Structures are given as C-alpha cells and as structure tokens.
Structure 1
C-alpha cells in the first residue's frame, strides 16, 4: 500500500503512464491499420509503376474525374487531398505538362478555372481502376459481404474523424498538451 502511494507521489502532476492507458488498444489498432495500408499500397503500386503514374497523380485524377460535372477547382482538389494549394499548383502544372489534365474556364463562374481530365488522363485512370479492382477483389475476397459493409462503415467513420481533427488542428494541440514518451517536434506531416 505504501509503495502504491509512493509511486503515485513520484509521478509529476499531469503526467500519464502510457503503458497503463486504455488507449493501448487504440494504438494497436492504428498500428494494424498503418501496416495494412502499407501492404495494400505496395500491392497497388505495381499498377502505378506499369502506367508511369504515382499515387498522388492517381488520387488527383480520381477526384477531378469524380466531380467533373461542376468542375474541380485547385482549392477543392487541395481540400479533398489534404494538401496545400501551393503543392497542388505544382502538381497540376506537372500533370498539365504530361497532358493528364487541363485547366478551363468554369461554366458557373467565368472568373474561376477548373480542372478537367484529358483523354490520356482518363485512359490511364481507367487502367489503374481496372487493376485496382482486381487487387481489391483479391484482398477483400476472404471477407463476407457483411464484413465488407462493416469495414466500409468503420473506415468512413475513421476518415471523418481524422478529417475533423486535421481541420481543427487538434492533433497539434494533443501533442503539445500531453506529456508522452515521444516529444513533439514540429507540425504533423501532411
């Protein structure tokens, strides 16, 4: 008993015993998610290498193609990809040079320019999607339909939570306000 009170008194106020936190399970789940994402990404990267495209360009083409009816502005693309507008500007300049996208005047607002996937970009996008379909079917094949629906629901909830935290910059506050075994050094990577 005396030892328990001694260990409690030795702990600085506000410190956290990271090994005893119930968050250990959450950390393990995120680690599993990261390892899974790494393996899935490796499986899908073959399509990128074969088609001479990278993951960022694929994601940009997919977003632009998905919202092509109203037109995708660079700021909208940056928001959806979680990137800065300056990074997206550089990306779009290079993709224009490779004839994957073009910028055109918006039909809704003549002051704005929107992005559009070119025929070459659309062809590459369809090839990558086809390959992704094969790989996805192989990876998710062991799951039954109910498990796939649950997975979708869980991933959507996690994505929403991560997006909210990123937009509110709660990640930075959390690292700065909490004593942890990993010292906070700079802003989280985008």
Structure 2
C-alpha cells in the first residue's frame, strides 16, 4: 500500500476522509491545479493574479502594504513585483504623498490582463465547484471566509 492509498477501516469508512486537514489539503491541491491550467494561457500563475488584484485597488500601495494584504514576506513581494514589472504589468513609482516611499501600480496592460484573468478564474472556480449544488458552494465559500477571518 502506498502513502497515497487511503486506508479503509473494517466498516468501510476511509480514515482520511474524516480528517479536515487531509480534505483541505487535497481540495486545495485540486483547485490549484485547475486554476494553474486555466491561467497558464495568459502567462500568469495564481500568486501573480492575486498580486494584480491587490494592486488594482483605488489607493496605490507600497510593496510592504501589498505584501501585508497578500500575506507574503517582503522578499517574496519584491520578487513578485520584479516579475510583474518584467512582464509589463506593474510599475514602481514615487508616492505622491510621501516622496520617500515607492508605490506599485498596474499598467494598462496589467489592468487589461487582470480583467481577462478574472473571467478565467471565475470560470475555473465554477468548474471546480460544479459537483456541489449552488447553495452548498456558496455555503462553503462563506464558511471559508469565516474560518480565515476575511470579511465578505
């Protein structure tokens, strides 16, 4: 038996199918794969899309502020912004409010790609959640927002 083979008890219940951590991990892996396949033709990955979404807010953010919203460290954010800049999707500029600080803003190309990618992301989410009735899919999203303390 490999480590990937679920263990079944005498009453036929898969021991792992009752474990929240196992279920969350494998749901995440399956969704990440679905999302990656959907975004690949656009030349984006999920982390880049999340960064574009955060940077699209009306108020320009510094790299540090954007990192905080994404939940990544400074080094990761610098590398992410470097990648977005290299792709022509974002640019660093001096803050008009504080000349000592740089803000990161989307370029027009970045805004256009974000719009396209959001359509692709939503379609991938719908495909992923399709096995659930609509009410259950919405309940799952609400529950996850509560558990991760993200306001809706």
Q: TM-score, normalised by structure 2?
A: 0.76
Q: How do 1:23-172 residues align onto structure 2 when only pairs under 5 Å count?
A: 28-65=19-56, 67=57, 69-160=58-149
Alignment root-mean-square deviation, CA: 2.3
Partner Cα separation in structure 2 for residue 81 and residue 117 of structure 1? 16
Instruction: Flag structure 2 segments of 5+ consecutive residues without an equivalent.
Output: 1-14
> Which is higher, the Rg of structure 1 or of structure 2?
1
Higher relative contact order (CA 8 A, sep 6+): 1
Q: Can you list the C-alpha shifts for 1:48-96, whole angstroms capped at 9, x where unaligned?
A: 321122222111111111x2x1111101121122221122112212321
SS at the partner of 2:92? strand
SS at the partner of 2:96? coil
Instruction: Flag structure 1 segments of 5+ consecutive residues without an equivalent.
Output: 1-23, 162-190
SS at the partner of 1:40? helix
Q: TM-score, normalised by structure 1?
A: 0.62
* Contact 2:90–2:110 (CA under 8 A) maintained in structure 1: yes
Q: Can you list the C-alpha shifts for 1:110-163, whole angstroms capped at 9, x where unaligned?
A: 3322111112212222222111121222232343443233212210122239xx
Partner Cα separation in structure 1 for residue 35 and residue 43 of structure 2? 13
Partner Cα separation in structure 2 for residue 70 and residue 135 of structure 1? 29
CA shift in 2, pair 1:146/1:54, >3 Å: closer
The alpha-carbon deviation at position 103 of structure 1 amounts to: 1.3
Structure 1 runs of 4+ off > 6 angstroms? none
